[in-house]
Every structure is written in structure tokens, then in C-alpha cells.
Amino acid sequence: MSSNPLPSNTSRLGGCTLTGALSVTTSVSDSISIVHGPKGCSHHNFSLLHTIALENNRLNLPSVYSSGLLESEIIFGGEAALERAIAACASSSPKCIFVLSTCVAETIGDDVFSVCSMDWGVPVIPVPTAGFLGGAFQNGVLNALSTLSDGVSPGSPDGTVNIIGEKNLEFEVEENYTEVLRLLSALGLSVNLRFIHQISYDEIPQLARASFNVLRDKEVVPLGDHLKARFGMPYLESFPVGLAGTLRFLEMAADTCGVSYHAAVQDERAVQEELLADFSDLSGARIVLPPDGVSAGDGAVIREVVTALGMKIADSGLCVPMPLSPPVGTSGIRRMLHRWRRMIRA
Amino acid sequence: MTGAAACLAGFEGITVIIHGSSGCYYYPATLLHAPLRGTFIVEEDVIFGSERRLLEVIDEVSSSGTRIAVVTTCVPSILGEDIRAMLAAHDVILVDSPGFSGDFEQGYRHALRALTPLINPETNGINIDGVSLFDPFSRGNIQELSRLLLNANVPVATIFSMDKFARVRQASPYTITTNEDIAGNVGTALGSTLGLDALKTTFETIGSVIQGADTEPVIREIEREEERINHACDKYLRRFNPPRAAIFGSPSYAVFAANSLVTYLDAEITCIGSRTSVIPVVPYVVKQADGLTQVQEMIKRHEPDLVIGSSFERSVMPAAAFVGLTPPLQGQVRLTSRPVAGIFGTLSFMEDVLNACMDRRR
């Protein structure tokens, strides 16, 4: 049924550009993000961002401000309300102000870019959003990242790595980053910048210093291409996924930076063997994939893990929980297997 | 929109369709934990009109055997499409309640009016109103008031809004409320259930109005449990000064919290921030605080050592003792159905206050 939020109905379920863009802009710690629309749009997103922050042990509130469009602005235009909002935010001297428009502002035809181009005393950066009229969630993410990267000047590569386009609303965002950091460290590589995850406005220009970029997943490839064209930075198109994929990630990262990977791969293979030994009790267990299906990435990881542990995929029986995105690295697979074992034992 | 959806989705037998984009849909869907449907309109529907898409979704859900309710979001409302005319051939409840038209409480009441509740003089018992899927205390409130009414030998009639849809048109002539901010005004109001004084008065009224009611067991329980609260609070005051509290929430819950703190702990209520435009007439400083800026200013000015409100307010002043009373209450696991109303509601609230204040001092 197309009124049901099922994965099969994805063409209409992409979410809101505003949420995607806010997941990026609110991660610039000393900025303010203005949502130009009714209060409900900012409340909705504020609540979501706040929840994710608390779940990641961050007590600070997201810095979101609403222009608070009411029925009168819908009729007579909302640009004056946006000007009032920018003036109010500018008075607290943030490092920069992001302005994100909603479907309501787009429908009534407010010229957001024109208002932002006035002299406000602080950088006021419009991010192309326009609610669902500007695309879907991922468009908002990419537009925000792209807008922020456009202000960066080219630099000299220093052998470090950028992490690009982390899913800031992902429950396991820190654990996934920690896993990538662990693997890069095994190669002797360090992270230059998490673009954009909990950084300050002044850190953004550091983007151009790194030697290559690791993208969160393939959805960020358009930005990877954009950065490659601007700064000549090569990229790996995804965080490591799967047992073999994690070893391959080490090889590719090492090749890109011109360092040796043999010792790191050997060590990681030992970590994976230990993982399989720890879950050897699952051998022979029969599992069922979720009825809504799994993504291609998930499917490949699951088949690999099931085969490695001697498990079986059945047509009926116990349905095991799946992560929303394919598990990252060996540590991600370990967490997934703990959830499976809990279900199998239940 | 979310207020309207919270009201409608609480009734079993109604299928709620959010007429708007997926981004608008996700908010009530995640907040209310209810099986909502959506039209998930895209740009094409805005350019060429959303009628075809809306009717397509209505056709899909019409076989479910439930009554269909359509709640509009901002863009379909702004476009000026005649949605009522679009739906003329269908037996559908339309609630035009876009986000820019008002707050949660207005949307909720708008939807409840659209359901056209009816009183059946033959229906026994008492309705419970003020219940909303949005309120994390609603299930606890229902359980507690059902328990108290049962102890008073009074059946529960219709619960607004968490009941079977058919019972909306079979309401009792009498109602007690758990939250006056979203009271539906169905039947004769017998009183509030927030706070022990109000509860006692309400049950005394029930005893005089409802034939066959025996409210003595409830009155005795109120007096007994109030003694326990007095004992615990007196013990606290032997060692500590009363808290200086800032309270943020909908007016009914906020005033309940203030009255309880003053009655049992001789607390100073530094300010009340009302989430709605309603400013209750009470002996406290009350201001509208429906935005973070106002909340931050009030907390900064008054420097309370106890904050009652949502996880937003907790984040503004993490050093203060905190008790959650207002959604959202994020960052903590909540598995049990705790009430605010009834006897257990006051016990639960004061228990949380005392523990939070003592934990802060450790």
C-alpha cells in the first residue's frame, strides 16, 4: 500500500531536506541554524536532534531558531519575519548563521537568498532546502555539506584523512566513527576533520589539508566527486562493511596513502577469527530475514556472516534484527551478532 | 497537525491519513507511536494538485472497515485546494489543522470537535478526558483513574481520546479530566483529578451525583497517602531548605506541580513557563514560554535549583535537580505507565521531586 511507510514505497518516503540539512548545520557547534517556516517545522527537528544528542551523551541543545511563520505571514509574505529572526540571532554574535527554508516559505515565494545577502555583521549562509519541495532528506545533507565546502580554499595535503558525510542522526554514529578510526590508526593514519560532525566553524577550512577522504556511504559520492574536482582528493566511497570488506578497506586506504597494509590486515584477520570463535555457538542456527527485505549492502554482509558461522537462512522461523545501515567494520558485526544471539536464545 | 493526529489516532476504529509530505508525516508517526497513514505528497502533487493522490490513498485504506480521518498539513492548506469538495463522495472526517494555524492543544480540540461526540443519557459511569497519545503520562492516568473509579463502584465510560471510536457517540453525561488544557467539554464536568485536594473534591462530587457510587474508600485512601507524603516531605525539610523551582509545561500540569511543591515542601515557585498562550490565574509568576529563548531567559534570571519540565529544560540547566513532566522526555528509559493524575500521580510526582533534590545534594 502506498500510504504505508514501507521500504517498497521509497519514492515518496525520502523525508525532508530540512531535517537532512539541519543534521549537518547544527553539528557546527558555534553556529545558529534558522528554520524559515512555521514553528512546528523547527520543533519537530529540534526534538529529533535533541533526542539523538542525548542518546550520544551530549546534553547541549541544538542551536535552532524559528522565524515562526503564522497565518498572517503566509498571506502577506514572510521575508520580514526572516529578517527579524536573523537580526535576533546575529545579536548573540554566533560565528555564522545558516538559513534553511521550508516548503511553506517556498510555496509562498519568499526570496531567502536576497534576505541572507544583506549585511548582518556575521556570515549568513543560505542552504538550499525548501522542505520536501527541494528534494528529500539526503538532498538536504548533500546541499549543506556542499555549501559548507564551497567556502574552503585549496590546501596542501598532509597525509591525514577526512571523514565525510557521517550520518549524524544515526544511533551508532560514534561507535561507527570509532571503528573507522581504529582501522585507520592500524595503518598509522590519523583523522584530519569530521566533515561535519561536532566541529567549530573555524575548523571547516581544515577540510582542504587532508590527503584523502573516507565517505560514510555511497550516498555521499556526489560530494566525494565534488571535493575531488575542487581539491584533487581521492576518496574511499564507504565505511568498511563486512568481514572481507573490512580487510579490503585497510588495503584500499593504505594504497591510497602509499603505506603498507600487510601487518594491519593480518592483525584484523586475527580479530575476525576471534569474533567467529566467540559466536561459534550459533553454528547451525536458522534465521529469517526481515519480511520487508534488506538492502543490498545488508544482504551481502548477512550472507557472508551466516556462511562464516555455519548458520542457515530459512524461509520461516526466527526473524533476526538488522541494523538500519550495514554494520561498520568487525566491531559492527560483533554488535549485530550479540543482537542475533539474544533473539535466538529468547 | 500533530495535536489533531494525537486526538484522532487515539481512537480504535479510525484510520488517520496525514495529507502532506513524508517529512511532515514522520513527526506525528514517531512521536505518537500510532499506525498513521500518509499521502506522502511530492512536488508533482503540488504542481498538478493533490486530489488524485489523496483519493488514491483513501481508496487504499477504505477496505479496512474503519472510519477515515484526513488531517491536512501546511502546504495542501496553503495551496487552497478545496479538500472538502474532493472528499464529498467519501465518508471521511476532515480536520484542516495545518501547523501554522495554532498549537498542539488547538489542533487536538479541533479534531475532537470534528468527531462530534454525543452524550447518551443511558450510558453508565463517567468519561475520562484530557488523554492524549502525545502525553507520556496518559496511559498511567487512565490506569489510575480506572482504579479509583472502580474502587468507588463507578464504571468508566468513554475515554477521550484513547478508546473505541464507537464510544465517542455513546458518552456518559458526566466527565472527569486528567488535563484541562485539552478537555473536550463533553457532558457535565465533575472536576479535575490533578492533585489530592482537587481529587478529593471531585470524588465528593461524584459521590453526590452518581447513583450507587461509594467514594468513601477513595477519600480514605487520599487521606492515608497524603499522610505518607507529608511524612516524607517533613523529613526532607528537617535537613534541607525547600527547593526553588522553575516549572515548564502545559498550564494544568504546571499548576499541579506548583501547588504540590508549595503544599508539601513549602517550595518557592520562581516562575512557570506556559507552553501555550493560556496564562492561568494563579498566585505564581506565569509567562508564555513556547520557545527555547524564553525558557533560557527565565531559567537564567531565576536560577532555580529544581527544574520541572521536559528534557529541553533539563539541558538548559543540567546542574539543577530535574523532574520530567512535559514531553519530550528523552534521554531516559521509561517502561512503566506512570500517572500524573489521581493518588498515584501525586505520590509519583513528589517521590520524583524528593529523590531528584536529594540526588543533587549527594
Residue B346: predicted pLDDT: 98
Write out chain B residues lying below 8 Å of A4, CB-based. Answer: 37
Rounded mean pLDDT of A11-30?
92
Q: Provide φ and ψ at A229, rounded to 5°.
A: -65, -40
- When pLDDT is cut at 50, 70 and 90, the band that residue B293 belongs to is confident
CB contact under 8 A, A40 and B1: yes
CB contact under 8 A, B78 and A55: no
Residue A78: predicted pLDDT: 95
Round to the nearest angstrom and report the end-to-end CA distance of chain A: 32
**Three-state DSSP string of A24-45:** HHCCECCEEEEEECCHHHHHHH
Residue B161: predicted pLDDT: 95
Residue B94 has pLDDT above 60, yes or no: yes
Q: Using CB atoms, pick whichever of A54, A59, A132 lies closest to residue B21.
A: A132
Write out chain A residues lying below 8 Å of B315, CB-based. Answer: 50, 54, 59-61
- When pLDDT is cut at 50, 70 and 90, the band that residue A59 belongs to is confident
- Closest approach of A21 to chain B, Cα-based (Å): 13
ipTM surpasses cut 0.90: no
Residue A10: predicted pLDDT: 54
CB contact under 8 A, A2 and B57: yes
Rounded mean pLDDT of A83-94?
96
CB contact under 8 A, A3 and B29: no
Q: Minimal CA–CA distance to B125: which of B213, B229, B219, B217?
A: B213
Write out chain B residues lying below 8 Å of A137, CB-based. Answer: 23
- Closest approach of A54 to chain B, Cα-based (Å): 5
- Closest approach of A40 to chain B, Cα-based (Å): 6
The order of strands in the sheet holding B14-19 is: B37-38, B14-19, B67-72, B92-95
> What is the tens place of the pLDDT at every residue in A166-190?
999 999 999 999 999 999 999 999 9
- When pLDDT is cut at 50, 70 and 90, the band that residue B110 belongs to is very high
Rounded mean pLDDT of B334-346?
96
- Closest approach of A284 to chain B, Cα-based (Å): 35
Q: Residue A76, Cβ neighbours under 10 Å: how many?
A: 11
CB contact under 8 A, A39 and B291: yes
- When pLDDT is cut at 50, 70 and 90, the band that residue A224 belongs to is very high
Residue A3: predicted pLDDT: 65
How, if at all, do strands B14-19 and B37-38 pair? parallel
> What is the tens place of the pLDDT at every residue in A134-178?
899 999 999 999 999 999 999 999 999 999 999 999 999 999 999
- When pLDDT is cut at 50, 70 and 90, the band that residue B317 belongs to is very high
Residue A296: predicted pLDDT: 64
Q: Residue B164, Cβ neighbours under 10 Å: how many?
A: 13
Write out chain B residues lying below 8 Å of A108, CB-based. Answer: 78
- Closest approach of A195 to chain B, Cα-based (Å): 24
Write out chain B residues lying below 8 Å of A102, CB-based. Answer: 74
Mutate to test the interface with A, among B62, B63, B315 (most CBs of A within 10 A): B315
CB contact under 8 A, B42 and A132: yes
- Closest approach of A50 to chain B, Cα-based (Å): 8
Residue A207 has pLDDT above 90, yes or no: yes
Give the residue from chain B lying closest to A42, CA to CA.
B291
Residue A7: predicted pLDDT: 43
> What is the tens place of the pLDDT at every residue in B32-78?
988 899 999 998 898 888 999 999 999 999 888 899 999 999 988 88
Write out chain B residues lying below 8 Å of A54, CB-based. Answer: 311, 315, 330-331
CB contact under 8 A, B37 and A3: yes
- Closest approach of A101 to chain B, Cα-based (Å): 13
CB contact under 8 A, A13 and B40: yes
CB contact under 8 A, A2 and B56: yes
Instruction: Measure the CA dihedral B7/B8/B9/B10, to 10°.
Output: 60
- Give chain B's mean pLDDT: 94
- Closest approach of B240 to chain A, Cα-based (Å): 28
Residue B265 has pLDDT above 90, yes or no: yes
Percent of chain B having pLDDT more than 70?
100
Residue B327 has pLDDT above 60, yes or no: yes
Residue A130 has pLDDT above 60, yes or no: yes
Strand partners, B286: B272
Mutate to test the interface with B, among A132, A133, A171, A324 (most CBs of B within 10 A): A132
Write out chain A residues lying below 8 Å of B25, CB-based. Answer: 5
- Give chain A's mean pLDDT: 92
Write out chain B residues lying below 8 Å of A41, CB-based. Answer: 99
Residue B325: predicted pLDDT: 97
Rg (CA), chain B: 22
CB contact under 8 A, B315 and A61: yes
* Angle (deg, nearest 10), helices A39-55 and A17-25: 50
Write out chain A residues lying below 8 Å of B101, CB-based. Answer: 71
Check: CB of residue A37 under 8 Å from CB of residue A67.
Answer: yes
Rounded mean pLDDT of A39-52?
90
Residue A4: predicted pLDDT: 60
Give the residue from chain B lying closest to A74, CA to CA.
B78
CB contact under 8 A, B22 and A12: yes
Write out chain A residues lying below 8 Å of B31, CB-based. Answer: 47
A&B contacts, CB < 8 Å: 125
Residue type, B72: T
CB contact under 8 A, B22 and A14: yes
Residue A8 has pLDDT above 50, yes or no: no
> What is the tens place of the pLDDT at every residue in A245-304?
999 999 999 999 999 999 999 999 999 999 999 999 999 999 988 766 667 667 888 899
Q: Provide φ and ψ at A303, rounded to 5°.
A: -60, -40
Write out chain A residues lying below 8 Å of B99, CB-based. Answer: 38-41
Q: Minimal CA–CA distance to B84: which of B100, B67, B96, B73?
A: B96
Q: Residue B228, Cβ neighbours under 10 Å: how many?
A: 12
- Closest approach of A44 to chain B, Cα-based (Å): 6
Mutate to test the interface with B, among A2, A3, A34, A58 (most CBs of B within 10 A): A3
Check: CB of residue B150 under 8 Å from CB of residue B203.
Answer: no
- Closest approach of B7 to chain A, Cα-based (Å): 17
Write out chain B residues lying below 8 Å of A104, CB-based. Answer: 74-75, 78, 100
Q: Using CB atoms, pick whichever of B60, B99, B311 lies closest to residue A50.
A: B311
Check: CB of residue A101 under 8 Å from CB of residue A36.
Answer: yes
Check: CB of residue B108 under 8 Å from CB of residue B3.
Answer: yes
Residue A293: predicted pLDDT: 65
CB contact under 8 A, A15 and B29: no
Check: CB of residue B37 under 8 Å from CB of residue A23.
Answer: no
Write out chain B residues lying below 8 Å of A47, CB-based. Answer: 31, 328, 330
Residue B332: predicted pLDDT: 83
Strand partners, A236: A214
Write out chain B residues lying below 8 Å of A17, CB-based. Answer: 23
Residue A320 has pLDDT above 90, yes or no: no
CB contact under 8 A, A54 and B290: no
CB contact under 8 A, B74 and A38: yes
CB contact under 8 A, A54 and B330: yes
